[in-house]
């Protein structure tokens, strides 16, 4: 049995997790996909056999929610483990080092770790690429994930390169320390019709609905799921997201990303 835990705000990581699942099933393995946001509500987190993690790169490292998840996991029954990070660009990163440290703290070794470059969805730093470029990048990523999945089927032990670990770790540590301020620049505009989707999709239940729309509760991880999913495009993070295109993976429906 293989358990693949995924964390996905816009569908990129869920899409990749499904591609790995399909490849493993073609190789005759039984696979279950589990949302990390949902799994954190379980008391007993003890996967056995082969276990994988698919998630986006956040602030040059592991998503804050994933760090919490790793500390909760009992890995004593795991025989092979892999981590796949989706991202816009991965060379400056501390994610694999951080994951190895978290595994080592449990006396375990992360067997393999891979990056899949896709599309950066962090709108405060840039727009989603134009349609042709977006399509090209997603096609390249789809080819790349097949190679990654093949490596996983053969239980290869390898790590993709990542650079500037120390600097990445400093940035990530700063973000972790100031987590309570990560949602201070979110706001919902007049277009909000109080549909409640943002509250349902937030993986950390950081949004409640007030009379005038969403209210952020200062436990944000800045995954941007709420901002990208809002059907009214009413949510902004500061001024730089205004007018920028929203995104979700074309083969994943928004409803599939809602916290279960
Ligand atoms: S998803 Fe958008 S429209 Fe719906 S409640 Fe949230 S901000 Fe308002
Ligand atoms: S509030 Fe929005 S950006 Fe923050 S964790 Fe929730 S969904 Fe992600």
- CATH number (domain holding residue 66): 3.40.50.360
pLDDT of the residue at 109? 94
Distance between Cα 247 and ligand 1 center (Å): 16
Reported as a single tens digit per residue, the pLDDT across 152-193 is 999 999 999 898 888 888 988 898 999 889 999 999 999 999
Tell me: do 88 and 138 sit in the same domain.
Answer: yes
Last residue of a domain, one of 140, 170, 200: 170
Structural domains counted in the chain: 2
pLDDT of the residue at 260? 62
Tell me: do 187 and 93 sit in the same domain.
Answer: no
Reported as a single tens digit per residue, the pLDDT across 76-104 is 999 999 999 999 988 889 999 999 999 99
Which numbered ligand comes closest to the C-alpha of 197? Answer: 1
Q: Does ligand 1 lie within 6 Å of residue 195's CB atom?
A: yes
Tell me: do 18 and 57 sit in the same domain.
Answer: yes
Q: To test ligand 2's pocket by mutation, which of 218, 224, 238, 247 has the most ligand atoms within 8 angstroms of CB?
A: 224
79 three-state secondary structure: strand
Cα–Cα distance measured from residue 93 to residue 164, given in angstroms and rounded to the nearest whole number? 6
Tell me: do 165 and 193 sit in the same domain.
Answer: no
Average pLDDT for the chain: 95
Among 111, 9, 102, 18, which Cα is nearest to 57's? Answer: 9
| Residues of the domain holding 165 | 2-170
Last residue of a domain, one of 170, 205, 238: 170
Which numbered ligand comes closest to the C-alpha of 223? Answer: 2
* Structure token pair of residue 139: 């096609």
Nearest CA residue ID for atom 8, ligand 1: 192
Tell me: do 104 and 218 sit in the same domain.
Answer: no
Give the pLDDT mean for 8-32: 98
- 223 pLDDT higher than 90: yes
- 128 pLDDT higher than 70: yes
Burial class, 121, CB count within 10 angstroms (exposed 0-12 / middle 13-18 / buried 19+) = buried
pLDDT of the residue at 4? 98
- 41 pLDDT higher than 80: yes
Is 175 inside a domain boundary?
Answer: no
Strands in 78-87's sheet, in edge-to-edge order, are 31-35, 2-6, 49-56, 78-87, 112-117
């Amino acid at each position: 049995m293989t358990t693949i835990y995924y964390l996905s705000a816009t569908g990129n990581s869920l899409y990749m997790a499904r591609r790995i699942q399909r490849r493993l099933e073609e190789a005759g393995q039984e696979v279950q996909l589990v949302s990390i946001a949902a799994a954190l509500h379980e008391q007993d987190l003890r996967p056995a056999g082969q276990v994988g993690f698919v998630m986006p790169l956040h602030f040059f490292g592991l998503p804050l929610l994933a760090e919490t998840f790793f500390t909760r996991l009992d890995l004593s029954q795991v025989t092979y483990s892999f981590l796949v990070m989706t991202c816009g660009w991965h060379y400056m990163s501390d994610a694999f080092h951080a994951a190895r440290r978290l595994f080592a703290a449990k006396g375990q070794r992360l067997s393999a770790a891979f990056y899949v470059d896709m599309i950066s969805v962090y709108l405060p730093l840039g727009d989603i690429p134009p349609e042709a470029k977006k399509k090209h990048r997603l096609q390249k990523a789809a080819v790349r994930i097949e190679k990654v999945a093949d490596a996983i089927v053969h239980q290869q032990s390898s790590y993709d390169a990542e650079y500037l670990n120390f600097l990445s770790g400093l940035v990530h540590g700063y973000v972790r320390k100031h987590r309570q301020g990560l949602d201070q620049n979110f706001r919902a505009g007049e277009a909000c019709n109080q549909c409640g989707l943002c509250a349902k999709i937030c993986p950390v239940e950081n949004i409640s609905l007030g009379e005038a729309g969403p209210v952020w509760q200062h436990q944000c991880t800045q995954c941007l799921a709420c901002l990208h999913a809002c059907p009214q495009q009413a949510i902004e993070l500061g001024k730089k997201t205004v007018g920028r295109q929203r995104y979700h993976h074309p083969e994943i429906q928004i409803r599939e990303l809602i916290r279960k």
